[in-house]
Amino acid sequence: MKFVGRKSELQIMEDHYASTSSAFLPIYGRRRIGKSRLIDEFVRGKPCIYFLGKRTAAELQLREFREAAQQTLQDEALAHARFENWEAALRTATRLWKKERKLVLVLDELQWTAEASPEIPSVLQGLWDREWKQRPDLMIILCGSHLGFMERDILGQKSPLFGRRSDQIKLGPLPYPEAVQMLPHYAEVDRAGIYFLVGGIPAYLERFQATRSLHRAITEEFCSELKFFALEPHFLLREELREPSRYFTILTLMAAHRIRHKDLARQSHLDPSVLAGYLETLLSLGYISKVYPVLPGKVSPKRVQYEIADPMLRFWFRFIFPNLQLCRPGQEQAVFHQRIAPQLESYFGTRFEKLCQEGLVESYRRRQILWQHVGQYWDDAMQIDVVGIRRDKWIDFGECKWGETESVSKLLIDLEAKCANYPKTNGFSRGLHLYLKHKPRGSPPPNVQVHHLADLSG
């Protein structure tokens, strides 16, 4: 499949490769985010020893590393070598490289190598300090999908490797304009629907390459216990987290709507201080986010709520997990039509609001505008779907409409009424935005910017 996006990350990697110094670059991010694919794209045409860590014994991994090094180096010294430890293996392989071009050494899924050989961070630190740092013909890439391991044992202050990185890349999901490039066979609205389901995770987007309707894709990919997405959240949570059952409870309670800390503690029967630790872990993984009514200035902690931020987890906990016992072969159509379809457009409407907020952030970045907060505003009487507080004393307000739009003028009147009830913001100018699924007919009113899906996809 065509490689999409990641221009900034590739530029960082190419800059280090082109430099006259050695480089030590950790790359990390959640499962399925595209780390290995990024590395493959970068090393194309470059001399590279690539080793993929596995959950096997250290002896077997050392043997596979020797084979990977021999494939690149083609040196008789490696052909029959037997390494007793990682220090000997890594030192031998890198010392055998004597060409002018820079060699890239990639240790991928490093957490599994370290599971069998806990000493490897210290080994890498010793080799970097004594040999590799002085070699302009070496670039070291350490890659891992276990965020806790990478941030603690590779980047953390207590790690032997602390302070030695040249840069670091924490890979996130593809933004919407890049994500939809992976869905060329779908219409604009269906591309958005798939993004609402799985976000910008490349491995998830690749599941939607077949030519089929959006509803059929949901039925086939989510509504059977035999399919990929039926068990994916189990793998995600159990690989990264201890006590996954506690996290399942927390995420289930967040599935339908945002929720306050005290309400979450009460409904989960967890002590608030204990719950705080679980929430911090989920926040660090990017699985949930804090949300609050967007206003200029500081936000009162009492107004902060939590919601599932990861699109796939949000959809799964909302629609699949409560019906998992029904997701059996032969029942896929019934599950979709009876348990998902009646609420799907409403669900997409809430996800469209989030996409429009992302679109406003992207427009700020593109225009080099500094901003403070982007999100929603809500109180007991109303909700403003998009609010952006800029550093130049400007507030953008937006109304989102996923359904059919009968009158742009009426939407604008509704938005202006909401803005009139927004808390006073002396000294701020304002901009008005309408976000629609389809491009409206005719010219929009002069005092509002109208956006539609094609605008958001770039």
Confidence bin at 124 (pLDDT 50/70/90):
very high
1 is a domain residue: no
CB 96, CB 75: distance < 8 Å: yes
- d(CA 154, CA 169) in angstroms, rounded, equals 13
Q: Which of 427, 364, 367 is nearest to 398 (CA)?
A: 364
Q: Are residues 253 and 395 in the same domain?
A: no
- Containing 371, the helix (H) or strand (E) segment is strand 371-378
Measured CA distances, 59 to 66, 74, 116, 124 (Å): 11, 22, 9, 18
Q: Say whether both 24 and 157 belong to one domain.
A: yes
Whether 160 is covered by a domain: the verdict is yes
Find out whether 105 and 89 touch, Cβ atoms under 8 Å.
no
What's the pLDDT tens digit per position in 321-332? Answer: 999 999 999 999
Q: Is 273 in the same domain as 210?
A: yes
Final residue in a domain of this structure, among 298, 327, 352: 352
Residue 254 lies in a domain: yes
pTM of the full predicted structure? Answer: 0.92
Range of the domain at 271: 176-352
CATH code, 195: 1.10.10.10
Q: Domain check: are 425 and 394 in the same one?
A: yes
Question: Residue 51: in which H helix or E strand, if any?
Answer: strand 48-52
Both structure tokens of 349: 């409407």
DSSP string, 101-170: SPEEEEEESHHHHHHH-TTHHHHHHHHHHHTGGG-TTEEEEEEES-HHHIIIIISSTTSTTTT--S--EE
User: Does residue 458 have a pLDDT over 80?
Assistant: no
d(CA 434, CA 449) in angstroms, rounded, equals 6
Residue 358: predicted pLDDT: 97
**207-251 pLDDT, tens per residue?**
998 778 999 999 999 999 888 998 899 988 988 888 889 999 999
Sign of CA dihedral 171, 172, 177, 182: positive
Asked if residue 110 and residue 205 are part of one domain, the reply reads no
d(C-alpha 2, C-alpha 206), whole Å = 11
CA torsion angle for 55, 59, 65, 66 (degrees, to 10)?
-160
**Domain endpoint, select from 170, 202, 221:** 170
Percent of the chain with pLDDT over 90: 83
Distances (CA, A) of 62 to 116, 150, 241, 391: 11, 21, 28, 54
Domain contains 69: yes
Q: What six digits make up the tokens of 238?
A: 């159990």
Same domain, 84 and 157: yes
pLDDT reported for residue 167 = 95
Task: Examine residue 390 and state whether it is found in any structural domain, yes or no.
Answer: yes
What is the C-alpha separation between 385 and 378, in angstroms, rounded?
Answer: 8
Nearest to 255 by CA among 306, 325, 189: 306
Given a cut of 90, is residue 406 above it in pLDDT? no
Q: Is 10 exposed, middle or buried (0-12, 13-18, 19+ CB in 10 A)?
A: middle
Mean pLDDT for 340-346 is: 96
In a domain, 328, yes or no: yes
Q: Is 400 in the same domain as 434?
A: yes
**Assigned token pair, 106:** 């990639």
Do 208 and 235 lie in one domain? The reply is yes
Q: Do residue 257 and residue 117 come from a single domain?
A: no
Answer whether residue 44 shows pLDDT above 80: yes
> What local confidence, expressed as pLDDT, does residue 262 receive?
96
Q: Are residues 32 and 69 in the same domain?
A: yes
Whichever domain contains 125, its CATH number is 3.40.50.300
What is the structure's pLDDT at 210?
A: 75
Ordered strands of the 48-52 beta sheet: 48-52, 103-108, 138-144, 23-28, 169-170
Q: Would you say residue 159 lies in a domain?
A: yes
User: Residue 402: is it exposed, middle or buried by C-beta count within 10 angstroms (0-12/13-18/19+)?
Assistant: buried
> How many domains is the chain built from?
3
- CATH number of domain containing 383: 3.40.1350
Residues 158 and 62 placed together within one structural domain of the fold:
yes
In a domain, 362, yes or no: no
Q: How far apart are CA 384 and CA 362, in angstroms?
A: 19
Residue where one domain finishes, among candidates 153, 170, 187:
170
Residue 1 has pLDDT above 80, yes or no: no
Residues 347, 210, single domain; the answer is yes
